[in-house]
Amino acid sequence: MNAVFKPLLVRPARLLAGLPLLLALVAWQQPESAPLGYGIGDAVADFRLKNVDGRTVSMADFPKAKGAIIVFTCNHCPFSRAYEDRVIALNQRFLSQGFPVIAINPNDPAAYEEDSFENMKARAKEKSYSFPYLADETQSVSRAFGATRTPHVVVIKREGDKFMVQYIGTIDDNSQDAGGVTRRYVEDAVNNLLAGKPVGLNTTKSVGCAIKWKNV
Amino acid sequence: MLLISLDFEAPLKSRVLPFGKSRRLSCCPVWLLDETDQNAFIGRVNPTWNGGLPATLIVNPGQGRRKLLSTPLNFNQLRVELSHFL
């Protein structure tokens, strides 16, 4: 299942080593196309981001959590909007079982005014988000997680004092019609983890809105 | 050039078609890809595609080469990318 990510991991390094002439091309491509992030089984570094309620949130704030469902999402993206109610339902279902939803907006608000912190607050209020909705202002957390688009989900599980990546991908197999879903990837993954079983299918892809990175 | 919309089917008439008209996309065919199982088709379009939109696939069947650019491109970036295929 990891195979799809391997070319992304290998290619930039090869280009850098063997073909210095392509450096310029790689340099402008890399920030937008292929941030290299955590893979399955990797430990996640804790993060501290600003929530729509004004406070900051980190994994350390969830001492009893067995894990978390981290959702990279935003206001403007139609695919994110299509999944909004399903993200709310995931938190309602799994918060009490120790897997809270933590939503993170990775976008540069300069690219989409709709994704500004003020508009994040408005959206969270309008839809009564029962989970944190965090602004990744430096985009460093999104890069660490290898997020490239919204929506994008990473399920992590506590092992001792660490959180390990268990699932990377999409929520289910039908973004445009919640009623037509036949496979619930995230639900299945979390249910398997709660039952002490392997996740099963641990990597999926979906169409989404490319994350707008700040020019660095 | 072939433009493929990955919009949802429901707003096809209300939003997708008017958008195409307003952006004068009459240059080229516009298809709407209405395949719901994205996990199944993304890798078949190109193994390096992460699913992010916009994405551009440059194909040169004669040379048997294709490249997927999963990033927004301005005119100059697209011109440079295309030049490698001509």
Least confident of A20-29, A70-79, A172-181: A20-29
Return the residue in A205, A213, A214 with the most chain B beta carbons within 10 A, the one to mutate for interface testing: A205
Mean per-residue pLDDT for B45-59? 92
C-alpha span between A125 and A119 (Å, rounded): 10
Same domain, B59 and B82: yes
Per the structure, the complete domain to which residue B1 belongs is given by: 1-34
Per-residue pLDDT at A35: 53
Q: Count of alpha carbons within 13 Å of A204, Cβ hemisphere only?
A: 29
Percent of chain A whose predicted confidence (pLDDT) is above 70 = 83
Mean per-residue pLDDT for A178-203? 97
* CA closest to A178 among chain B residues: B36
Residue B39, domain member (yes or no): no
Least confident of A29-43, A131-145, A161-175, B54-68: A29-43
Same domain, B56 and B84: yes
CB contact under 8 A, B48 and A206: no
Asked if residue A79 lies in contact with residue A117, where contact means CB atoms within 8 angstroms, the answer is: no
Per-residue pLDDT at A12: 37
Residue B23, domain member (yes or no): yes
Most confident option among A17-26, A90-99, B9-18, B19-28: A90-99
Return the residue in A73, A170, A176 with the most chain B beta carbons within 10 A, the one to mutate for interface testing: A176
Partner residue facing A209 (CB), from B10, B39, B53: B53
Asked if residue A168 lies in contact with residue A138, where contact means CB atoms within 8 angstroms, the answer is: no
CA distance A166 to chain B (A): 18
Q: What is the mean pLDDT of chain B?
A: 88
Per-residue pLDDT at A5: 34
Number of domains in chain B: 2
With cut-offs at 50, 70 and 90, classify the pLDDT of residue B53: very high
Higher-pLDDT residue of B6 and A133 is A133
C-alpha span between A40 and A169 (Å, rounded): 11
Asked if residue A189 lies in contact with residue A205, where contact means CB atoms within 8 angstroms, the answer is: no
Identify how many contiguous H helices and E strands chain B contains and give both numbers. 3, 5
With cut-offs at 50, 70 and 90, classify the pLDDT of residue A18: very low
Contacts of B8 (CB under 8 A, 6+ apart): A78, A82, A175, A176
Residue B43, domain member (yes or no): no
With cut-offs at 50, 70 and 90, classify the pLDDT of residue B52: very high
Per-residue pLDDT at A24: 31
CA distance A200 to chain B (A): 15
Higher-pLDDT residue of A5 and A94 is A94
Q: What is the DSSP letter of A5?
A: G
Residue B41, domain member (yes or no): no
Least confident of A4-13, A92-101, B11-20, B45-54: A4-13
CB contact under 8 A, A208 and B51: yes
Residue B73, domain member (yes or no): yes
Partner residue facing B9 (CB), from A82, A176, A205: A176
Residue B17, domain member (yes or no): yes
Please choose, from the candidates A54, A6, A40, A32, the residue with its C-alpha nearest in 3D space to the C-alpha of residue A210: A32
Asked if residue A135 lies in contact with residue A102, where contact means CB atoms within 8 angstroms, the answer is: no
Contacts of A62 (CB under 8 A, 6+ apart): A68, A100
With cut-offs at 50, 70 and 90, classify the pLDDT of residue A126: very high
CB contact under 8 A, B52 and A177: no
Least confident of A24-28, B22-26, B32-36: A24-28
Same domain, B55 and B82: yes
Residues on chain B touching A25 (C-beta within 8 angstroms): 80
Asked if the C-beta of A205 comes within 8 angstroms of chain B's C-beta atoms, the answer is: yes
Number of A–B residue contacts, CB under 8 Å: 82
- β-strands A101-105, A133-135 pairing: parallel
Residues on chain A touching B72 (C-beta within 8 angstroms): 32, 210
Q: What is the mean pLDDT of chain A?
A: 86
Residue A8 pLDDT more than 60? no
Same domain, B52 and B29: no
Per-residue pLDDT at A11: 36
Residue B84, domain member (yes or no): yes
Asked if the C-beta of A206 comes within 8 angstroms of chain B's C-beta atoms, the answer is: yes
Q: A185-194 vs A78-94: helix axis angle to the nearest 10? A: 20
Asked if residue A19 lies in contact with residue A29, where contact means CB atoms within 8 angstroms, the answer is: no
Residues of B with CB under 8 A from a CB of A: 6-10, 36-39, 42-43, 47-55, 69-72, 77, 80
Partner residue facing B71 (CB), from A29, A174, A176: A29
With cut-offs at 50, 70 and 90, classify the pLDDT of residue A21: very low
CB contact under 8 A, B42 and A170: no
Same domain, B52 and B27: no
Residue B83 pLDDT more than 50? yes
Residue B60, domain member (yes or no): yes
Name the pTM for this structure.
0.85
Torsion from C-alpha of A119, A120, A124, A129, nearest 10 degrees: 170
